[in-house]
Structure 1
Amino acid sequence: MDTMRDRFAPIVSRLLDEDPRVAVVLAEIGRDGFREAERRHPDRVINVGIREQLLIGAAAGLALTGLRPIVHTFASFLVERPFEQVKLDLGHQGTGAVLVSAAASFDWPAGGFTHMAPGDVALLDTLDGWTVHVPGHPDEAETLLRHAVAAGDDRVYVRLSVQSNRQGRAVDGRRFVTVREGRSGVVVAVGPVLDAVLAATEGLDVTVLYATTVRPFDAAGLRRYGTVEEHVAAHGLDAATLRERIGHFMNAGRVTAERG
């Protein structure tokens, strides 16, 4: 099976052909996937080199001219390193862009701590006006990326991971998907941890909801199954450990499991 990132360049290259508003801004990483698109659209495929602050600034400038920039690099260099530019060039100026990361969380341990970004979603949550998608399968990544580009001039973050669930599900960029229903608790699995959560909750009388969009949060969908009182970070836990923690918290009420 291909990865979410394998889908990224072909999808965006087609969007460049289809929509004259779409532009791509890169910081060296991922450039090989856009060689053909760069030849067809030299004015809308821009590589700024290893200058992540400029990456965001250039995207904001393109947005001010009416374009819809798609900005891509590793998560640590897309959200954390240029965070001031994300806050000011995009947020303060009220401009929109689609930030698409690779190597989310701890995906690439060989790159060292500089290439890890477990706090990217939490960091963006300190800013107003962002939509955050966390797909769990390449098919979902394609759907959510198209949603993001079509979202007017909104600010959208699409978090791509090398981790993937075995099958993609029909997602709409807004609502949770009910995967399993039960009466003793609620588990919300975010993105690529769904398979692990399903294994951990096998035989337990719990509802499993699947979230690929965490901001805005589908509070109405969650309320249909009760109130969440506890939070379990599922990333990095094997199914047995996750199952033990879920069982521990079930006595206290509802449970949310999400990728850290």
Structure 2
Amino acid sequence: MRDRRTALQDVLVELIGEGEDIICVSVDSASRFKKVKDRYPERVVECGICEQAGMGVCAGLALAGFIPVISGYATFLTMRAFEQIRTDICRWLLNVKICGTDTGFSAQYAGFTHQALEDIAILSVLDGIVISEPCDYEDALLLGRYLLGNFQGPVYLRFGARGGEDEFLKEHQEVALGQFEPLTRQEFQEADVTIVALGQLVGLGMEAAAELEKRGYRTFVFNARFVKPLNPEMVARIARGSRLVVTLEEHSRVGGLGDNLLRAFQEIRNIPPLLKLGAPSNFGFSGERGFLLRKCGLEASLVVERIAKEMENLERHEGFFKGGLLSRE
């Protein structure tokens, strides 16, 4: 099975085989390290259902020169162990890799308690941490090798739904810190609509873009890859070259990719119209993932209509919006 979570295990096995001093820390989540445990059982430490203790173990391992990789439900890693991530890890920029699984609506019928819709918002306030999410297996391999093997410092990697996935590109571009990956063409070109999609919503972004092109809108799609940090030069190019920027994320509209990109626009003092599409705050439904996405308007036909309506409004009031702040949800 070629999904993002499998890619994480494949990368870990490769890096350990190449001599990296990686220790996998399980918080009753050993299945996420099965391939590592089969090959290198001494490299997996079990902490039980105690995310706070797991983060403390990671901090100690990092101080001893190891590369700790902790994986578990994103909700519990980020909410229960926030104090330890903040105080023990990020304060000292320790080389700890946090891999949150079952993000967004991936937990489905497990419901509100297990739906990770606030994890990015929680960690975005911390200086020094890198927040990233791959869109498919190959992308996860590249991001995993870069962030687990090359990058020094705290990392939060999001992994969504299990199972078979679309491969959006046969060959992904190499990873550069803070850079979105262009999907429609090799590099960014001016567009009526620039869609920045995160992780498992990249396919939705591609589908919506194809329909918008049929309606006459020049559309460009990015695989976000990174939520934090964001490269200022890339952000400036997007701001200058887009009539409307749309973010797609399986996360709350508050504090996620959209808000981080808006902050980046503010820092360069160039803010294009921005439409943030994601989950409403305090979303409390259970059910099949597709059903939950539809309830949030995250289905291709609904996304297309929302963007088309925004473009019509923009065309009617282009003069009003020019140089102004427009951030909609």
Q: Structure 1 residues 165 and 222, CA, compared in 2 at 3 Å: closer, same or farther?
A: farther
- Range 227-236 or range 4-13, more displaced: 227-236
Q: Structure 1 residues 210 and 11, CA, compared in 2 at 3 Å: closer, same or farther?
A: closer
Matches within 5 A, 1:165-244: 165-168=166-169, 169-174=172-177, 175-180=179-184, 181=189, 183-202=191-210, 203=213, 204-225=217-238, 226=240, 227-234=271-278, 236=293, 237-244=298-305
* Per-residue CA distance 1:102-157 (angstroms, 9 max, x = gap): 10111111222221111111111010001111100011111111111124531111
Shift of 1:201: 2.3
Query: TM-score w.r.t. structure 1 length?
Result: 0.87
CA–CA separation in structure 1 for the residues paired with 2:150 and 2:79: 24
Q: Structure 1 residues 183 and 13, CA, compared in 2 at 3 Å: closer, same or farther?
A: closer
Given that 2:104 and 2:116 are in contact with CA atoms closer than 8 Å, whether structure 1 keeps it comes out as yes
Shift of 1:179: 2.6
Given that 2:202 and 2:223 are in contact with CA atoms closer than 8 Å, whether structure 1 keeps it comes out as yes
Q: Structure 1 residues 221 and 165, CA, compared in 2 at 3 Å: closer, same or farther?
A: farther
Q: Secondary structure at the match of 1:148?
A: helix
Shift of 1:98: 0.7
Q: Secondary structure at the match of 1:187?
A: strand
Given that 2:51 and 2:77 are in contact with CA atoms closer than 8 Å, whether structure 1 keeps it comes out as yes
Shift of 1:173: 4.0
Given that 2:195 and 2:220 are in contact with CA atoms closer than 8 Å, whether structure 1 keeps it comes out as yes
Q: Secondary structure at the match of 1:115?
A: coil
Q: Structure 1 residues 216 and 165, CA, compared in 2 at 3 Å: closer, same or farther?
A: farther
Given that 2:191 and 2:219 are in contact with CA atoms closer than 8 Å, whether structure 1 keeps it comes out as yes
Gaps of 5+ in 1: none
* Per-residue CA distance 1:49-104 (angstroms, 9 max, x = gap): 11111110000000011111111111112211111111111022332201112101
Q: Structure 1 residues 64 and 127, CA, compared in 2 at 3 Å: closer, same or farther?
A: same
CA–CA separation in structure 2 for the residues paired with 1:183 and 1:152: 33
Shift of 1:221: 1.6
Gaps of 5+ in 2: 241-270, 280-292
Q: Structure 1 residues 132 and 115, CA, compared in 2 at 3 Å: closer, same or farther?
A: same
CA–CA separation in structure 2 for the residues paired with 1:82 and 1:28: 15
Moved over 6 A (4+): none
Match for 2:273: what amino acid? E
CA–CA separation in structure 1 for the residues paired with 2:231 and 2:197: 13
Shift of 1:171: 4.3
1:94 corresponds to: 93
* Per-residue CA distance 1:135-186 (angstroms, 9 max, x = gap): 0001111111111112453111111112744324324143222233553232
Q: Secondary structure at the match of 1:166?
A: coil
Query: TM-score w.r.t. structure 2 length?
Result: 0.70
Q: Structure 1 residues 25 and 110, CA, compared in 2 at 3 Å: closer, same or farther?
A: same
Q: Secondary structure at the match of 1:57?
A: helix
CA–CA separation in structure 2 for the residues paired with 1:230 and 1:217: 16
- Range 13-22 or range 76-85, more displaced: 13-22
2:8 corresponds to: 8
Q: Which of 36, 44, 52 pairs up with 2:38?
A: 36
Larger helix share, 1 or 2: 2
- Return the index of the structure with the highest Cα Rg: 2
